[in-house]
Structure 1
Amino acid sequence: MGVLGRIWLVLILVFLYAPILIMAMMSFNESQFYQLPFKFSLNWYEALASNDAIKTAAIRSVLIAIATTVIATTLGTAASIALFRYSFPGKRVLQVLLFPPIAIPWLITGTAMLIFFFGIGLGRGTPSVLIGHVALALPYVIVVVSARLATFDPTLEEAARSLGASSWTVTMRVTVPWILPGIIAGGLFAFAVSFDQFVVSYFLSEPGDATLPVLIYTSIRKGFTPEINAVSTIIIVISMAIMLLAARFSNFGGDR
């Protein structure tokens, strides 16, 4: 990479991460109004620790994200294996239909889900939020697990069957161990998509029972405090850690 290329890369990184770094730095600033010079303080993290509304919303977000991860990873892994093993009419169309939920803006998806859930009588609430999160996370799991399955040798399954192993045994003793890194990466993606999800949660949550991203949004509308910087910094650290783990298990960077 030439000098100009490196400069361009640095500028892109600065553009992407400078606002985040400034926000994280200001979460440790003593002043509520971002006055300088900077004075280190943990006041806003202490205030965050005593904020019951934020803690309740955070716990709710974590529980929904865990449930989403379990359901989406299970269904996504099963779907990926089925798409890998079997050929059936409409298979290509089904594979193509997995991508629109990723590409369609979440605002449109949230609106459509809200109309649909009211149409079937389910309305807003935790079940609707959970179903919405699973619908958004499922394509990510299928894409990641399918990418891992693309490196799998089908003759391993044939060899296991020739030795008398049942389909369940082949799946659990041969296929799943091979694709386990992809399953873990897909699960981490599902958790991150659910935990960070705002639009669908905003549309489908009941009043007074919001997830953490929705609570942050409503808090900013009422009046910004550096507590939002503190909780946003924590969320960013958790999300980046999850994404790094997902990249590690799925080997996005390739072998060195």
Structure 2
Amino acid sequence: MAAMSFNASEFYQLPFRFSTEWYERLWRNDEILTAAWRSVWIAVVVTVLATAAGTAASIALFRYDIPGKRILQVLLFPPIAIPWLITGTAMLIFFFGIGVGRGTPSVIVGHVALALPYVIVVVTARLSTFDRTLEEAARSLGAGPFTVTMRVTVPWILPGIVAGALFAFAVSFDQFVVSYFLSEPGDTTLPVLIYTAIRKGFTPEINAISTIIIGLSMAIMLVAARYAKFGGER
């Protein structure tokens, strides 16, 4: 796919002839660029909301034995395990049932609901290695709950938070089914637009935008892996 995005032929004819024509056309294609920008800013909003809520929920579940804690932990897995086609249909029925309907708010809420379990699972896994005596030592030295959380707990689980945020962004940016069901006509995300474009007739511009996404995703992951210390200290 990446190689063919630089092929001059629109129909993948060989021999290969190098050309940047499809990237040049891509930058002039307002429809694709608008959909890509919409996918990015929705994914950023979803990442912020899901990461904040998921981290807070993980810390609460870690610290407190609240009633129904085990049930809440079990309920994290259905959004991951249930096919997204079923989830998208259920969300569409739900939003129309409460009078919200389709639109960007519904898309964001739907994406947060899908991304939240990933964040909680990843952050909780990181918290399982946390030494509770560190928080007790901080409290004994006069630190309040907020200070303990921000100065002791969060720095320790930061790699998990970063990993959870990456999962949330990927789930939102890549989400097709829920976006397809909940987006308003003419106001679609990039995955929905790519699907529509393939149905109408595939063009190498899709190869170009896909290659850019792959390159950016790999770069972000490499930077995160380098500075978040996922593997721990040596």
Write the letter of the residue equivalent to 1:202: Y
Using the alignment, how far apart are the partners of 2:145 and 2:232 within structure 1?
Answer: 32
Partner of 2:120: 142
Q: 2:94 aligns with which of 116, 120, 126?
A: 116
Find the residue that maps to 1:24 and give its secondary structure.
Answer: coil
Residues 204-243 of structure 1: pairs in structure 2 closer than 5 A: 204-243=182-221
Q: Could you tell me the TM-score, scaled by structure 1's length?
A: 0.87
Cα deviation, residue 241, structure 1: 3.7
Written as runs of structure 1 = structure 2, the 5 A alignment for 1:27-38 is 27-38=5-16
> Which of 92, 96, 104 pairs up with 1:126?
104
The answer to whether the aligner puts 1:45 opposite 2:4 as a matched pair is: no
Partner in structure 1 of residue 141 of structure 2: 163
Identity of aligned residues (%): 82
Pairwise CA RMSD: 1.6
Q: CA deviation at 1:246?
A: 5.6
Q: Which residue of structure 2 aligns with residue 15 of structure 1?
A: none
**CA-CA distance at 1:247 after TM superposition:** 5.5
Structure 2: state its 5+ residue gaps: none
CA contact (8 A) 1:192 1:243 kept: no
1:18 is matched with which residue? none
Please give the secondary structure, in 1, of the residue aligned with 2:41: helix
Q: Is the 8 A contact 1:182 1:250 kept in 2?
A: no
Per-residue CA deviation, residues 61-89 of structure 1 (Å, 9 max, x unaligned), is 11101100100000000000001101122
Matches within 5 A, 1:179-190: 179-190=157-168
Quick one: structure 1 residues 109 and 58, their matched pair in 2 at CA, closer, same or farther if it must change by over 3 Å? same
What does residue 174 of structure 2 align with? Answer: 196
Partner of 2:129: 151
What amino acid maps onto 2:68 in structure 1? G
Aligned to 1:84: 62
Instruction: Look up the match of 1:101.
Output: 79
Counterpart of 2:51 in structure 1: which amino acid? T
Q: TM-score, normalised by structure 2?
A: 0.95
* Other structure's SS at 1:27 match: helix
Residues 1:24 and 2:2 are matched in the alignment:
yes
> Is residue 69 of structure 1 aligned with residue 78 of structure 2?
no
Q: Structure 1: which amino acid aligns with 2:25?
A: A
Question: Equivalents in 2 of 1:137, 1:237: separation in Å?
Answer: 23
Letter paired with 1:186 = G
Q: CA deviation at 1:144?
A: 1.0
Alignment partners' CA distance in 2, 1:233 and 1:239: 10
Helix, strand or coil for the counterpart of 1:206? coil
Deviation (angstroms), 1:219: 1.0
- Residues in 1 aligned to 2:4 and 2:139: alpha-carbon distance in whole angstroms: 60
Following TM superposition, by how much is the alpha carbon of 1:145 offset from its aligned partner in structure 2, in angstroms?
A: 0.8
**Aligned-partner residue type, residue 63 of structure 2:** R
Task: Tell me by how many angstroms 1:236 deviates.
Answer: 2.3
Whole-Å separation in 2 of the counterparts to 1:247 and 1:104:
29
Q: Per-residue CA shift, 1:111-136, capped at 9, x if unaligned?
A: 11011000001100000000011111
Distance 1:245 1:117, change over 3 A: farther
Per-residue CA deviation, residues 22-44 of structure 1 (Å, 9 max, x unaligned), is x1111110000111000111000
Aligned residues between the structures: 233
Q: Which amino acid aligns with 2:159?
A: P
Tell me by how many angstroms 1:58 deviates: 0.8
Report the Cα distance in structure 1 between the residues aligned to 2:84 and 2:214, rounded to whole angstroms: 20
| Alpha-carbon distance, 1:237 to partner | 2.4
